[in-house]
Structure 1
Amino acid sequence: MSLKARLGWLIAIVLTAMLAVNVAIMIGHAGPRVRAEAESIEHLSHELVETALASVQETKDPIPSLRRLFDNLRNLRHIEIEILPNDDIAPSFDSKLRKEMQTGVPDWFVSLFAPTPKIDIVPARIGDVQYGNIAIIFDPVDELAEIWSDLLWLGAISLAVTLLMLALVLTLLSRTLSPFDSLGRGLARLEAGEKDVRLDLRGASEFRNISQKLNSLAATLDRVTEENHSLIDRLFAVQDSERRDIARDLHDEAGPCLFSIRAGAATLVAAASGNFPDPELLRRTCANIDAAGQALQTLLRRMLERLRPPAMSELGLETALRGLFASWSDSRADVRLSLRIAHDLSCLDEKIALTAYRVVQEALTNIFRHSSAANAEARLEFVEAPPELAGAEALRVLVEDDGVGLPEERRFGLGLIGMSERVHTLGGMMRMERRPEGGTRIEVLLPLPEVEEAEAEERESDDL
């Protein structure tokens, strides 16, 4: 059931309950009303009879006068007055009243509120002579019919008002919840991958806030999509550049080495075919072949290090990092490098270790290219993971320098973008900022998997 239908049913139930309560209150007041009216009529009728008897005390034949007086009182509501001869007994009006009361009035209403018909007998005594009896009959038919009529009218009016209120509330509810439709269409368009999805800010403040946040989400998705496309284009460009560099190295360095080896081999074959080989020529040829082999081996080692550090899988992260720092120190003695490792890193899995290595590698590359720093330091340690990260512990990688710092309008290059993507792929977080004392600080937190998860991944790798 939709939210609109649920709210509509809830409002309808509340209004119906209010209508039922109003009707119950009106019905509850019916009994006291009938009793109060009966007591009032009973008191009034006794006073009328006593007054009538007092007015004919001096009359010789009082009965005709009393009959005329009581005939004139027949229009009174709820009572009937009859003059009975002395030998007549009080009539039974119960069956007559019950039949009349049930005319147009439901049985349950009669049984709840109809009082027992009451007949009072007053002797018609004039002087010392009794001319009969005066029967005062209390008839509640009119009062019950009037109350029932009032209930019907009030119930009908209340029902009409309730239906009108329900219609107005449902109309208002439909208009109030109409922004949900536009929100649904906007989300569907976002799911379909459409761009420039923006919603009009209308409706209640809550809908305006949701629409504004959805517009912000759409703008962020558009920006992320553009960044992804740009990143893909730059990745392809870097891939092509890397292929060109490898092809150039193979052509410019491996090609001459292989040619030198082949030439030396041909020289050895020619020398071996003669009757008197020249020892000096053989020594020079073998030396040239050895130099070409060493150059080719150095080229292959350098290319492998660019693709993947071999010391990582063989000796671990710490050894690979110390080799990286030693290589940079040999080539750039103008920058003082410091590496601090507070804990044993041999427990790290391959993904986290490789990501930490690439972070330090890219950070050092940027320091030597852009920072003009005199000192740089990298620290690796295990820390307690912040609430934003999953897991209890994290590997903290911190790289700092005392160079010129980040520019005001910084734009991440492909290396930093790739570093950030690596970190976020592992569920980590990365922060790059200016140091208060000058220079740049790059901090990366990589969550460490739980022991159970690490063992499960290890078993899966063993099975494969």
Structure 2
Amino acid sequence: MPLRRRLVVAITGVMLVTLGIGLTLTYAHARRKVDVEMAAALMNGRNIVEREVEELDATPEPARDLPGLVRVFDGHRHIRARLIDADGATLFASTPDEEGEVPTLLLRVLGGPVRTYRREVALSSNRRGAVVLETDARSEVGEVSGDAALDLTVLLILFVLVLAAVNLILARALALFAPLDRAFERIGRGDYAVRVAEAGPPEFARLARSCNAMARELERMDGQTRRLARQLSIVQEEERADLARNLHDEVSPFLFAVEVDARAIRDLSESSPAIAARAEAIGEAAAHLKREVKGLLGRLRPETTPDLGLAETIEDFAARLRLRHPAVAIELDAALTREPDPALAQALHQIAREAIGNALQHGRPTRIEIALSEAPDGLRLRVADDGGGPPAAGRAPAKTPTKTPTKPPTKPPGFGILGMRERVAARGGRFVWRERGSPRGIVVEAVLPVSHPVEVARSPREVTA
């Protein structure tokens, strides 16, 4: 539940408890007030009856004036008077107050029991009767209920106003956190350049300053990490180039010399088949080493060439894979209006090779789609397959017919993903690896900026191909 709703619910609960306490206190006060009024009214009526009876006893015919005693209570708000005979039959009754009727339930809850007073009187020389007074709480209950309704109305209005004010205050207070929320979301996506205005209440300003300080530190650390990664990549490329140059300039000539000498020994030893056979074996070994060195040179030197370009290089790689995996349809869709710089092309090509290799090695694809396109923030490479997703535990790798035997995997697929992610991070790009549902498979997407934002000092050594 959102914080705002929690606070509103909590305050509503407190107000409802307060309203319940107010209702209880109002009921207790109203009941006590009705009881006090009824007791006082009955006491006053009793005094009137006693006084009037004493005065009537002093008259020659007291029974004749008894109805007048009852009429004293005509229109009384709290007392009803009756003159009854010895059998309880009503001979004469006062006229009740003509105020509005009160609901029976309300009268029963607030009115309490009816109080009575009975005064024996002589109706004649041989007949006895009584004047009976009964409390009537209708008027008092109506008055008390009206006051209680007014109090409760005021309390409800106060409750609504307080709730509305609290809701408004919370809305304005929590709205201050919206920029922080957006800033944290962008920071989570790797955008450390975001800043929050350090304004508003002191508490929020402190949070904004802390957020900005964190973003600046993350931006500094991210820049440093990218510079180090870029430097490491450059050093690796330089070492690869140096190793390739040494193999080409130093090892290859010696292998060529060994091959020439072996051929010469073979030609000079026609009379000795054993020596000729040995010379032939030496020549074949030298030729094999030359092929191995040539393969190493191909792997150490950059994969892309200025003559082919990025799309053509990937297409050439895909064509070789089609020959080895005829059951897999490998398609390339390249929509580039300009050729990227060699370093960017090299990074994209290596990512494409790794993604395609992962799909063939760890899945059972029948189709691999490669897409090269231009994005607002750089170049986008997307490799998608239908190989069924990452390998489950115990599942054998994909088996596809090949013309040459494939080597068993030497590293888990996670390392390949890590390598692609590091290559993208080194150039300040974005990398996504995810599963897709239909058809089930893996999607690898990398977006690399055309101009890398990090300046790195190159080594003074000349890097040769």
Give the alignment's TM-score, normalised by structure 1. 0.48
Q: Which has the higher helix share?
A: 1
| Greater relative contact order (Cα < 8 A, sep 6+) | 2
